Structure 1
Amino acid sequence: MAGRKRHSAEDIVRKLRRADELAAEGKTGEQIAAELEVSPATLYNWRRTYGGMDTDAAKELKELREQNARLKKLLADAELEKDALREVAKGKILSPAAKRRAVDMLKDVLGMSERLACKAVGLARSTCRRLPLAQTPQDPDAEMRAWLRAYATKHPCHGFRRAWAALRYDEHREVNKKKVHRLWREEGLQVRVHSPRKRAGVSSIPAIVADAPNVVWAIDFQYDSTVDGKAIKIASMIDEHTRVSLLNLVERSITADRLVDELQAVFAATGGPPRVLRMDNGPEFISQALQQFCENKVGMVYIPPGTPWNNGHIESFNNRLRKECLNRNHWNTLLEARVVIGDFKHDHNHRHRHSALGYRTPAEYAAACRHTHTPMACQIN
């Protein structure tokens, strides 16, 4: 008696997607199970384990979600006042000035009395009514506040530390740095933090024309997400001459070390590295891990920042992947995304007829191509 057939997780995902297509055609559960060569009980267990569902269940789930959204909105409107009061009563507001602002907010927005607002915030009513010293003519730090405002106007890029240094060493004032920091914040003189510019990678060799296989490989990343909103990062790499897809890496996050491991596996599977890797200036590509891996092994060519057209082959491939695969599917799990994207890249290599290759598939052209790398680019016959 033959043993039971074992299905891998990838085979189960493919059969579930095929089952959804058959259900859309109007076939019954028994007919779908017979065509997939499994029992109805097995198909039911697969759906329960891997998140598949039929059309009726999907419609019912959609209606339940809409009802849930309406109920949530009504509940949010009813609980708005209680939530606001609960937030200000957690003890996160520390300074008297911040507590005064919280009391004013509760009085203006929620229409609460001063007594109840002070009780919720944890501020004495006498303290709330007392005018802060900084707002009175008797403020002992009025002169220093004026000096700090003038300094910030003259030096808009300086922070409180440089202002303290100017007071200490230029004005010869014995003043505490923490006091300068407090006055600096109270006057709203904080300097806006600017994000640093993206670094541009330094190419190790001049640009090379992809006139033969294994000369220039282009690599890039794309992003998508599963239905629960979690991110999916997709790494793709193609040979610019043959258009063969060489890398299928789909993860939640891809670090530089993981990218190096995958490149090493691709180099071993294809018989060696190319002459050049063409890429943009992403953080994984300019990392020390990739730089050390490619040193004395493969050249690295970076396109200028903000010029994706200089890496047109991989951008064209990413466009096809986005329109023909990512935009036409939704992913219940990361495993499903890996399977379907991997199948798309396999079909690209073995079924997609490329006009630039004489309407041959990349795999057919790569098997028949005998071009070698020369200074002059070859043409497709």
Structure 2
Amino acid sequence: MKASRFSEEQIIGMIKEQEAGMPTADVCRKHGVSSATFYKYKAKFGGMDVSEARRLKVLEDENARLKKLLAEAMLDNAMLKDLKHKKMVTPAVRREAVAYLCEAFAVSQRRACSVIGVDRTSVRHVSTRSDDQAVRARLRELAAVRRRFGYRRLHVLLDREGIMLNHKKLRRIYAEERLQVRRRGGRKRALGTRAPMVLPSGPNQRWSLDFVSDALTDGRRFRILCIVDDYTRECLCLIADTSLSGLRVARELDLLMVQRGRPHTVVSDNGTELTSMAILRWSQDRRIEWHYTAPGKPTQNAFVESFNGRLRDELLNETLFTSLAHARFNLAAWKEDYNTVRPHGSLGNLPPAIYAKLNAPGMQWDGALEQLGSTALPPIAPPSPKGSNDERTLLSAG
């Protein structure tokens, strides 16, 4: 706003002259102002004395200063909220933040540095240090081969190759490349394979393991080890006990291999029993791949998870178990019914045991159900005689 060439005392004097009876045109001509300017002065200072006008001027100046301070504080807050980096530790990140604020909010470098709390000399500093690209590339190669080596051992290897570096500079480059060795957990666990799984194309190619828990009528908890063949969908075993350790799981797998043969892959989650040293030793001794699903991804073990849902819905939620022997008896009966009688939707409504026999080597689909004898499902009704759909046959039948 353009400052007035008249002070408050002069403006109030003009108004007093007009109020004393001097015509407005004469007052304007005397002081060299237009009538519009005079009436603007009168609207603002009319009825005031000099002290009140001075007080109004002070209040206006204070209000303008407070508005400016509020606008600057709001701008500073907006700049801090819009920063991409919450923590600015290294000088490179600080320079990037200052450049972003100067471009996005059209502020000076001094203003951006004061908002972030950065010294301007560190922002304006231009490094003359070499980038050491060859050293960085060789350091990454050595760290990829020697994954458990720290920067001290890598320093020794570089010295042997003739790359002489100060240990402090090597540590800085080592940290900038993010090659720090992560500390391992407290105990060694089975790692298994993390390769993508493919659907099995035959029996005993892949078994799935999981645990299901339930309670007896007296409140005691027990667990059930479920093992399923992913190709035939057969329930291979249901082992119920109050405690199922890794050694017990390995022993049950050995007994199952005597009956069924050796599987190619075993799939399970990351439970403590299944990642124990006993399972690690068992899989290495038998040379069987053990695949662990990703944490929080039960759908990667969908075959046994689906089986667990059927087991809980059809047996566990429908039966009150009075003892562990009672639970084992019912589990064995349900397993036999599941494998030989219960139709399975994904197998064309065939029981898993019959589907496995139909897909066994040398077994043909033609007449296979008749060869299975009593294990095959009985027909719902006898077949109709030949020609029973003929109109004359129907009429003669009555």
Give me the TM-score of the superposition, normalised by structure 1: 0.44
- Higher normalized contact order (CA 8 Å, seq sep 6+, divided by chain length): 1
Asked which structure has the greater CA Rg, the reply is 2
